[in-house]
């Protein structure tokens, strides 16, 4: 016996053509209704002058235990504010590059950065990567 075709439900495929049409219409709408702003270049004269005037870089390596050594072989304690103040006053336009060893705590690094800032350091850079 043949099955009745009226009882058999045919599975109809969903056409993607109307969906694609709607997506293209939305794309055209958003492209035509948006406005493009020309970005202006911002000149920072103070930062440019500071970068040009300071060609000297002093590398400070921060070890675990709160000790820091400069590239010149000088030894500093992270909490010794007077020694850091003397260092900054001797080199006012120097870039202080801070190299941090992996086992150094973040608190020691931030303490040294804060003390350099309090000593008057203008240009401080981190060169080491913390894990």
Does some domain include residue 15?
A: no
How many residues belong to the chain? 131
User: 69 lies in which domain range?
Assistant: 50-126
**16, 23 in Cβ contact below 8 A?**
no
| The model's pTM | 0.53
Does residue 94 fall inside a structural domain?
Answer: yes
CATH of the domain at 97: 3.30.420.270
pLDDT class of 45 with cuts at 50, 70, 90: low
Report whether pLDDT(129) > 80. Answer: no
Q: How many domains does the chain contain in total?
A: 1
Q: Is residue 68 part of a domain?
A: yes
Residue 81 clears pLDDT 70, i.e. is over it: yes
- Is position 19 within any domain? no
Mean pLDDT, the chain, integer? 77
Provide the phi-psi class of 66: left if phi over 0, else alpha when psi is between -120 and 50, else beta. Answer: left
Between residues 15 and 129, the one the model is more confident about? 15
**pLDDT at residue 49, rounded to an integer:** 54
Sign of the Cα torsion 31, 32, 34, 36 reads positive
> Kindly report the CA angle at 23 between 22 and 25, in degrees rounded to 5?
65
DSSP letter for 55, please.
-
The Cα–Cα gap between 31 and 101 comes to: 50
Angle, in degrees to the nearest 10, between helices 81-90 and 106-119: 50
């Amino acid at each position: 016996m043949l099955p009745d075709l009226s009882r058999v439900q045919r599975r109809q495929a969903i056409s993607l053509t109307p969906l694609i049409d709607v997506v293209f219409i939305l794309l055209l709408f958003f492209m035509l209704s948006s406005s493009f702003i020309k970005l202006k270049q911002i000149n920072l004269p103070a930062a440019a002058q500071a970068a040009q005037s300071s060609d000297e870089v002093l590398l400070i390596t921060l070890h675990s235990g709160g000790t820091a050594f400069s590239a010149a072989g000088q030894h500093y304690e992270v909490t010794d504010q007077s020694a850091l103040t003397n260092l900054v006053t001797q080199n006012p336009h120097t870039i202080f590059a801070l190299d941090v060893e992996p086992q150094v705590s973040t608190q020691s690094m931030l303490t040294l950065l804060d003390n350099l800032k309090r000593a008057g350091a203008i240009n401080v850079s981190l060169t080491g990567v913390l894990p």
